[in-house]
Structure 1
């Protein structure tokens, strides 16, 4: 029996590759998308046929077939550029191997046009799916827009807000409790907290966890030592300046993210204080800058790049024959990274 041939003079199609390799179109698609659920000898046979006939998937044809583009969207409203860049890198780690590209959409949740702009972005791009970092992930109105557009999504949030296949949970309260225990065990009693904005669920979870950690050591967070920040460097400077001007200033400050913690460092230097001799400082996130400032910042580590990768892997699980609900890591556990910005209080 002679070997099946494809029409000469025409580019090979996925049907040609499937026929010549004697497999189904679905198997060819899985090989193209690097699915682990293909036998090695089958993969080699299909790849050999693809190479022989110079086949490459047509993105437009694929998009028409799925009635979507091959773009993954990331919709965010976050004042920390370092957080956003790390998240993007994680998403790219996952989508590059799946034949997808990332398109980002910064937004302002306080804007009157926020929802209209999100809806327009989703419909206009015909997105394959969407990654929602905090705090957009916490907005159920955005999720309803995505559901109405039949657009898959994955939310990253400090608590579970959705079904497992649509969630990466970061458990921010656990990390904040570890920060509180660290300061209490060093002997600090005048401990201050600079929160993030009220519009972020993470701000509330970090505050709650911090108070729980203090309570384990018989301590309470004095309202006089609480200030509200905005997850920005400038708000950290301003809040810390107020705290350090108190008649009895705190000996330790826990800032709700690293950007604010580094602002606290500046305020301490401006006040002529030594860190950590006069003031211990703890941040949250463990952004790259935390190990590059002096003294190196003690902080709670959230693996932000990994979180972006995990969310994208859940979104693209179907391309690889995986079950997003059970086969992709559903959560992360924040850890405390002790560096040089914390020590016991002076006698």
Structure 2
């Protein structure tokens, strides 16, 4: 069978090929009822636009770039999947670009990529989304971009984020509600904007509950499993340790969990462990890790939606393109009531 063409869709929908093209390309000036009718025929016929032909017939490439500092992380994998699925729905394609802005030639590399690929837009993830030099470069190239969880000027571009501070506060309040008073905290990579926000949420809850931090209760990690193992050794290896530890992401929480088990500290009967992100590691661990479900896939999908919106390039600083998504506390088996009768001593 021959492939379905744009003309086939137009004939079936009773509209012109130009109207079908406008609907597929997300252009304005199409009546909602016409757009819905055309989209229904597109779905029924399973029409797939030819990306090469589309790019030749317009000034767009229908390619979006996802720029990441660590493409191998679980966080990055969830972002990639969310962006990829939404691009497929919007008849766009995704290019994943690793970017190390500490490299001496990073600017030349990204300019080469932008010009060679003719990207229509870029999704910037932390911490590179906070690089003023990068933002200035993209502005000079005229490339539209959307930032995920940035630290800097919220009015500079479209952005997608969640309230990391409130989420961390809620998790800390959850631990306090279980009777924990001696709670340790592991910070994330200081280069990431969310690291400070999560620590602030933790201290907000501790202060509100009238709880004081003891020396060594707060340690700095880097979001890696290895740092969770190291800090787990530091916090649990002595004669006294917290009844609960809240790590800024699930990879570090897993490191603490494994260290506790190696030291013979039962989880959650003698130590509660909480994480952040709802990464695959939080569900693969045993016991499964209590965590904050961050809508990473939805954040990336939302960034795609903004970039393909025809009105975005005309008003990228509009508040309409600054979106706050919800989170969810997922209560699993790695946390439980404090049963250590007020003592932090190992038996």
TM-score computed with the length of structure 1 as normaliser: 0.83
> Where do 5+ consecutive residues of structure 2 fail to align?
342-347
**1:215 aligned residue:** 207
Matches within 5 A, 1:222-301: 222-301=214-293
Superposition CA RMSD, Å: 3.5
**1:335 aligned residue:** 328
CA distance in 2, matches of 1:169, 1:38: 32
CA distance in 2, matches of 1:34, 1:139: 31
Shift of 1:35: 7.2
Relative distance call for 1:209 and 1:232 in structure 2 (3 A) is same
Q: Is the 8 A contact 2:66 2:95 kept in 1?
A: yes
Offset from partner CA, 1:215-262 (integer Å, 9 cap, x none): 111123334112111111111011111111233211111111011111
CA distance in 1, matches of 2:245, 2:41: 61
**1:317 equivalenced with 2:305 (yes/no):** no
**1:107 aligned residue:** 99
CA distance in 1, matches of 2:264, 2:140: 56
Q: Is the 8 A contact 1:194 1:254 kept in 2?
A: yes
CA distance in 1, matches of 2:37, 2:186: 57
1:188 match: secondary structure: coil
> Where do 5+ consecutive residues of structure 1 fail to align?
1-11
Q: What number of residue pairs does the alignment pair up?
A: 332
Q: Is the 8 A contact 2:149 2:160 kept in 1?
A: yes
Relative distance call for 1:46 and 1:94 in structure 2 (3 A) is closer
| More displaced stretch, 186-195 vs 77-86 | 77-86
Matches within 5 A, 1:1-347: 23=16, 25=18, 27-33=19-25, 38-40=31-33, 44=37, 59-78=51-70, 81-157=73-149, 161-163=153-155, 166-318=158-310, 325=318, 330-345=323-338, 346-347=340-341
Q: Is the 8 A contact 2:79 2:297 kept in 1?
A: yes
